[in-house]
Structure 1
Amino acid sequence: MPMINPPRRVSVLADSDSRWKWGAALARRIAPEATLDAYFLNGRATPTERQLAEVGVVPDSSCEVTVAEFLADPRVAEADVLILALVGGGAQALLHGTARAWSALPSRPVVITGYVGVVYEKLTDGLLLRAGSDIVLANTTADAERFREVLAGVGADPGSVVETALPFLGGEQYVPAPDSRRFTVCFAAQPSAPRSRSARRALLERAAQHARRYPDRDVLVKLRSLPGEQTTHVEDFPYQRLLHELTIPAPFNLDLVYGHMSDVLDRTDLLVTVSSTAALESLHRSIPTAVLTDFGVREPLGNHYFIGSGCLTSWDELDAGIVPVPDQQWLRRHGVIADQPYLALQQRISELRSLPEMPSLVPYYSESRASGYQPALLRRYGLDPKGAPLVEAPPPDARSGALTRIVRRTVRRSARRCYRLGAQRVAPVIRRWGQL
């Protein structure tokens, strides 16, 4: 069914590579032909050019911004849809900021928030930080039910929840490897699951052990980032460095790989992970998928999300040739199998855009409702409790305005680079020293 009055311009504000992947893919699902404007929030996890290229979605425009710069950009208010691909605190700050910035405008974009992957922790906290957007996306039937229950329970609008699926699920269905291609096992690594050095080295040892046990197989360790790059979660012990600490040197058929996850899955016959959303991408394509239990089934790891999926297994079982078989009912309830998952979202967007006047954005948290939480949260993003920038830059001098702006921008970008160097390279080294 064609979308009535489809959006012509979609803006995405993202704060990391994984959230850009989610937001960009969602924008293309909503309106494939729309102009896509990309904004990247400056911070610890601002994606690098390599990380952006790895996602594979090329926007029509792109820039790195602070919260104040984003709110002051007139193009944002002119978009038909704004996707806030941010952590919960960032979504809350931008909801307050845009509500204030657009309060006097005759029209505004439809504002969408959601989750990059599976929701396995901080359900209530993260959801209420997103409450107040026009649409809160749930990636699964199970999530939609939980979201509506929580929102109704605190007096927020459960009708804002719209069920979809993870927008980057796709690709060709799996066909077993022919004799002309080597069987390929892919271990999808994560920056923080598990977190400790010993556990991460043990996982790498097991992958290497599997490669030695099956010399006729290729074992790939799919990495998210290069050393020094940051993702949503801090990675203190990159696998690239741990590779040199293996008890026995890595076998010839073990390789570290980068690139778009979909491209790696094109040649994968068995996907292994602790709890990466790559498991959902793999299951969507009917690729045999194993979620590891070697370090327990525990909330901090996130693998408890896969209870009932039929995918929980261990390296010992994989070494013995056991291949998990997924539960089809679990796949349906968790958004892996879905019919027309974006139809309801497109209809909701059309309904909102057809209104004579868009309602004001009213975030769930306010200074009066959460005086010990909301002001400090917004302050971290440079906003006061009402959503106004804390420091307004003075207007540039009429004679030297352009030069002033250039100098200010250059200094600011240099400061950001220094900050990222400290956050991404120096700080992890200091943390490791502290653990010696």
Structure 2
Amino acid sequence: MRIHVLADSDTRWKWGAALAVGLAPGSEVHAHMLRGRSTPTARQLAEVGITPASLTEATLAGFAAAPELDGADLIILGTVGGATHAALHALARRFRNARRRPILMTGYVGVVYEKMADGLLLRAGADIVLANSPFDRRRFTDIYEPLGIPASCIVQTALPFLDQRPYDPNRTHARHPYTVCFAVQPSVPADRNGRLYLLRRAISHARLRPGRDVLVKLRSRPGEATTHVEAHHYQVLAEQIEEPLPPNLHFVYGNMSETLDRTDLLVTVSSTAALESMHRGMPTAILSDLGIREIHGNHYFAASGCVTDWTAIDEGAAPLAHESWTTDQGIRSDDPYAELRARIDELWGIPLPPVTPFYTAGSAPEYVGTLLRRRGLDPDGSPGAGAVTRRAGPMRRTSRRVLKVAYQFGVQRVAPKIQQWGGV
């Protein structure tokens, strides 16, 4: 199977690539990185651990015009809702008169806890919209069916990076001590005070429990971008703390699965790393220190049995998720690809209809027009005036990287200093 993955960040490339490999092992997977703020660096791509058959970087117009898509069997759109909707319009135009077109598939990288209706309707028009759990399938169906969108496009699967290696609570700690991993998030919480509080609590836990290792698992290095903007990087914040850090506290990067291999307790506000640890049967703590709030996403885990706080963790709390909750969230499913493979087989056996996004220039002219123009497309999905469809050359890529790193450096290092000097 020839699978093409469009991704706009390292996280969404990881999702799309892992999905392609899990769905059809041995497939020819091609990577298309959407040019933008979160375009992953070479280090971030390497960290995912999946090497594509080819790798290009392009605008949406350039991706939709790529000649290699003519030979694609499946296109996975691993992009935010707006970009996915724009891609559907561009691909609808591209394959309008084609005798054969690839199957179009999209979904969500993690838990869906905000803007559900908005995100779902922007994805409507794909042949397959993935639901990561029975819970998600019910919610998605409740949105689609009343609006006349066939619920048959919703296919249940599971997050593709959930590792099958179970946690052994009786394992010895000969190689390393009991390990607590604080999985940080780029934008949760978004404010400096909240992030500094969580960092100080992790540091405090390391001091209170000198026999433990405390890992602060970071998503990106200072200056790198990921799915969300990280204005106050934890490692930069640590440099601003006057007292020395305890020797058993470590900042770590790399593959989350490998970090979990040495972890005994996963701590986070609402990271999808919690789903990975719960899938392994590992103790998982969802922090309520900053409140249980929709903006933080930890309300999603309210019924999991894992909501707790740093004080309880200091005292030895190590909650396990309720089995009924994990089952409904699709976390511990046996064969997450069975239904998806069956649906793909069905679609291969019939002529595919024209790609029809939910919003059109007729039904939502202002919304569609604005959404597509922001992404270099005209309302009919064609390249907009001045749109660049060719792939970026080395000089263009280098200059863009320099500007992006300079911006991140200013946000993460210079701005906090100015705030300190000004007493902000």
TM-score band w.r.t. shorter chain: over 0.9
Unaligned runs of 5+ in 2: none
Q: Per-residue displacement from partner, 1:316-339 (whole Å, max 9, x unpaired)?
A: 001011221211100000111213
Residue number in structure 2 paired with 1:10: 3
| Local SS of the residue matching 2:82 | helix
Which residue in the other structure is 2:237 paired with?
Answer: 242
Of the structure 1 ranges 319-328 and 374-383, higher mean CA displacement relative to structure 2 is found in 319-328
Cα deviation, 1:166-196, whole Å, max 9, x if unaligned, reads 0110141111340413101100010011111
Instruction: Measure, in 1, the Cα distance between the counterparts of 2:197 and 2:32.
Output: 38
Aligned residue for 1:372, secondary structure, equals: helix
- Whether the 8 Å CA contact 2:288–2:309 is kept in 1: the answer is yes
Residues 179, 234 of structure 1: alpha-carbon distance in 2 compared, 3 angstrom cutoff = closer
Q: Distance in 1 between matches of 2:282 and 2:139?
A: 28
Deviations 1:89-129 (A, max 9, x none): 00000000000011121111100010010000000000000
The aligned residue for residue 120 of structure 1 is: 113
**Matching residue's letter, 1:183:** Y
How far is 1:414 from its partner? 4.6
Corresponding residue for 1:391? 385
The equivalent residue for 1:4 is: none
Paired letter, 2:129: V
Per the alignment, residue 309 of structure 1 pairs with 304
Q: 1:186 to 1:112 in 2, by over 3 A?
A: same
Q: What does 1:331-346 correspond to in 2, within 5 Å?
A: 331-346=326-341
Letter in 1 for 2:199: L
**Which secondary structure state, in structure 1, belongs to the residue aligned with residue 205 of structure 2?**
helix
Matched, 1:190 2:185: yes
Counterpart Cα distance in 1 of 2:102 and 2:414: 44
Name structure 1 gaps, 5 residues minimum.
1-7, 396-404
Residues in 1 aligned to 2:86 and 2:71: alpha-carbon distance in whole angstroms? 20
Q: Call closer, same or farther: CA 1:429–1:368 in 2, change over 3 Å.
A: farther
Deviates most, 419-428 or 340-349: 419-428
Distance 1:34 1:141 in 2: 27
In structure 1, the residue matched to 2:73 is 80
Structure-to-structure mapping, 1:281-296, within 5 angstroms: 281-296=276-291
- CA distance in 2 between partners of 1:27 and 1:20 (Å): 10
User: Does the CA-based 8 Å contact 1:290-1:311 persist in structure 2?
Assistant: yes
TM-score normalised by structure 2 residue count: 0.94
Identity %: 51
Residue 13 (structure 2) pairs with residue 29 (structure 1) = no
What's 1:424 paired with? 408
Q: 2:361 aligns with which of 352, 364, 367?
A: 367
Cα distance in 2 for residues equivalent to 1:393 and 1:60 = 27
Contact 1:138 1:163 in 2 (8 A): yes
Quick one: distance in 2 between partners of 1:429 and 1:365? 41
In structure 2, do the counterparts of structure 1 residues 211 and 358 end up closer, same or farther at CA, with 3 Å as the change threshold?
same
Q: How many residues get paired?
A: 418
Aligned ranges for residues 217-296 of structure 1 at < 5 Å? 217-246=212-241, 248-296=243-291
SS at match of 1:386: coil
Distance between the aligned counterparts of 2:173 and 2:95, measured in 1? 60
Aligned to 2:370: 376
Shift of 1:65: 1.1
CA contact (8 A) 1:292 1:312 kept: yes
Cα distance in 2 between the residues matched to 1:315 and 1:274: 11
Indicate the SS of the match to 2:100: coil
RMSD value over aligned CA atoms? Answer: 1.9
Letter in 1 for 2:287: L
Residue 246 of structure 1 and its aligned partner are, at CA, apart by 3.0
Deviation at 1:155, TM superposition (A): 1.9
Q: Kindly indicate whether the alpha-carbon contact (under 8 Å) linking 1:148 and 1:159 is maintained by their aligned counterparts in 2.
A: no
Which digits, 9 at most, give the CA deviation of each residue in 1:233-277, with x for residues without a partner? 100000011112335321000000001000000000000000000
Check conservation: 1:135, 1:162, Cα contact below 8 A: yes
Match for residue 326 of structure 1? 321
Deviations 1:256-303 (CA, angstroms, capped at 9, x unpaired): 000100000000000000000000000001111000000010001000
- Name 1:145's counterpart in structure 2: 138
Structure 2 letter corresponding to 1:409: G
Question: What SS does the corresponding residue of 1:84 show, helix, strand or coil?
Answer: strand
Work out the CA distance in 1 between the residues paired with 2:274 and 2:400: 34
